[in-house]
Amino acid sequence: MTSAFQNTLDFARQLDAQDALRPFRDRFHLPPGPDGQPAAYMCGNSLGLMPKTARAAVEAEFQSWEEHAVEGHFREPSQWMHYHQTLTEASARLVGAKPVEVVVMNNLTVNLHLLLISFYRPAGRRYKVLMEGGAFPSDQYALESQVKLHGYQPDDAIVELLPRPGEHTLRTADIEARIQALGEELALVILGGVNYYTGQAFDMPAITRAGHAVGAVVGFDLAHAAGNLLLHLHDWDVDFACWCSYKYLNSGPGGTSGVFVHERFANRPDLPRLAGWWGHDATVRFQMKKGFQPMPGAAGWQLSNAQIFPMAIHRAALAIVDEAGGMQELRRKSEQLTGYLEYVLHAAGLPAEVLEIITPADPAQRGCQLSLLVHQQGRQLFDFLSERGIMADWREPNVIRISPVPLYNSFEDVWRIGQAVAAWTTTLTPAAANQ
């Protein structure tokens, strides 16, 4: 395989010098490694870095609270009453949606449940759910409890997609075939936009088409896709989706969550849902009367008044994405950065019996994360990287996830990983290397 890449520090620095997003690295607090120098932070898939603007954004709301107390709901500049709306446009751009199709509220798993109440409506023969085998545990538990709520057995109602023997990721054709085979038994397809473990990005438009063709509803958990992939939820005709803000969206631990509900459901007050006052028609909300009338669009799924402090951080973090030129720009760098990571890992020369990249090699089937399946002494490799200031993520039993993030990671960070992996190779015991 020929490559335009070179495995040298000079080359990595040259790519950094040419990188239009390079100035954005300075917008974030980079944690130090053991030598006091900035770590190569590769855990943005788990918790994105803190924007330097986050503290002032929260401070401004403290200021309003301190000075105005309840009046802060109505006073400029905070206007807590309408605060969630200030996140709508940027969120819509982020996921390729119309503003009416998105809302920011609650936390991810809560939102997944709220959406499932409306969009998992099993009836008669049509009650099955198709999801990834080994989905993120919260999603597994959410679906398990939802099918039980409707009186079904999880083992019967939940169908899991598993890779073919000897393969690590799913083939789109196999997903489509499974959907077709389930046919009119299938009520819901719910997948991650990007699988958290393998880093595989699914073909969301193809899966949505296949689901709709058999009359099923199709939703995605975009926890690992929002801020990572270029998304076109509206055009792809996805029914619903939700995501968290603290991974690729850098909005802080336990940060708020985004929701997408396709425009075709915008004026469907008849859809069953769990209601709260913030989803009620805002023009009459404070009449405090009986009889729930949902707001049009995703806003009609809100329950509670806005969580100002997490939303203040989210607003500051989303502003950085927009300033950087949006997801198109981020994705452009991301493909190159992850391509370089793949290149330096291959250049480290480890045999597949020791280390395999299980994330698809096709850039269209992945975001920024590469998952390394380490067959030998994986935990040792992880510790070896940590000692050298490379903060990656360890998943039992033997996967290291590495996620170079275009907003703040550099090509030099990535080059360091290749060097460290090559250095680790020399520490392998011969038995391990030969096995």
Q: Does 57 bind ligand PLP (CB under 6 A)?
A: no
Q: Which two tokens stand for residue 116?
A: 């499932």
CB nearer ligand PLP, residue 196 or residue 340: 196
Distance in Å, CB of 161 to ligand PLP, minimum? 15
How many alpha carbons fall within 13 Å on the CB side of residue 171? Answer: 8
139 binds ligand PLP (CB under 6 A): yes
Q: Establish whether 272 is an annotated binding residue.
A: no
| Residue 223 in contact with ligand PLP, rule: CB under 6 A | yes
Annotated binding-site residue? 305: yes
Asked if 243 interacts with ligand PLP (CB under 6 A), we say no
- Report the DSSP pairing between strands 399-402 and 393-395: antiparallel
Instruction: Return the range that interacts with ligand PLP (CB under 6 A); candidates 74-82, 107-115, 157-165, 357-365.
Output: 107-115
The Cα 63–Cα 83 span in angstroms is 15
72 or 192: whose CB is closer to ligand PLP?
Answer: 192
DSSP 5: -
**CB closer to ligand PLP out of 255 and 297:** 255
Find the part of the chain contacting ligand PLP (CB under 6 A) among 106-114, 288-296, 297-305, 320-328. Answer: 106-114
CB of 196 to ligand PLP, least distance (A): 4
φ, ψ at 47 (rounded to 5°):
-145, 115
Instruction: Point out which span in 61-69, 219-227, 259-267, 291-299 binds ligand PLP (CB under 6 A).
Output: 219-227
Report which residue type is found at 237. Answer: D
- The residues, any chain, with a CB within 8 Å of residue 260's CB and separated by 6 or more, are 95, 97, 101, 102, 233, 238, 240, 241, 242, 298
- Amino acid making up residue 292: F
CA angle 288, 290, 293 (to 5 degrees): 90
Cβ–Cβ under 8 Å, residues 378 and 43: no
Determine if 109 is a binding residue for ligand PLP (CB under 6 A): yes
Residue 401 CB partners (closer than 8 Å, separation 6+): 42, 45, 46, 197, 199, 369, 370, 371, 372, 392, 393, 394, 395
| CB 213 to ligand PLP: min, Å | 25
**Binding region for ligand PLP (CB under 6 A) out of 75-83, 202-210, 218-226, 298-306:** 218-226
Q: Show contacts with ligand PLP in window 177-196 (CB under 6 A).
A: 192, 196
Q: Looking at 103-111, 115-123, 180-188, 401-409, which segment touches ligand PLP (CB under 6 A)? A: 103-111
Subset of residues 378 to 407 that bind ligand PLP, contact rule: CB under 6 A: none
304 is in an annotated binding site: no
Residue 232: φ, ψ to 5°: -135, 65
- How many amino acids of this chain bind ligand PLP (CB under 6 A)? 12
292 phi and psi angles, rounded to 5 deg: -75, 125
Smallest CA-to-CA distance from 163 within 140, 195, 139, 129 is with 195
CB-wise, 224 or 366, nearer to ligand PLP? Answer: 224
Scanning 104-112, 182-190, 306-314, 352-360 for contacts with ligand PLP by CB under 6 A, the matching segment is: 104-112
Q: Which is nearer to ligand PLP, 122 or 255 (CB)?
A: 255
- Distance in angstroms (rounded) separating the CA atoms of residues 79 and 109: 27
Does the protein bind ligand PLP through residue 108 (CB under 6 A)? yes
Q: Between 7 and 138, name the residue whose CB sits nearer to ligand PLP.
A: 138
End-to-end CA distance of the chain: 26
Selection from 51, 96, 103 nearest residue 82 by Cα: 103
Q: Quick one: which of 25, 27, 178, 224 contacts ligand PLP (CB under 6 A)?
A: 224
The half-sphere exposure of 191 on its side-chain side, counting CA atoms within 13 A, is 29
Residues 142-171 that bind ligand PLP (CB under 6 A): none
Which residues does the annotation place in the binding site? 108-109, 136-139, 221, 224, 246, 277, 305
Which residues does the annotation place in the binding site for pyridoxal 5'-phosphate? 108-109, 136-139, 221, 224, 246, 277, 305
Per CB under 6 A, residues contacting ligand PLP are 107-109, 136, 138-139, 192, 196, 221, 223-224, 244
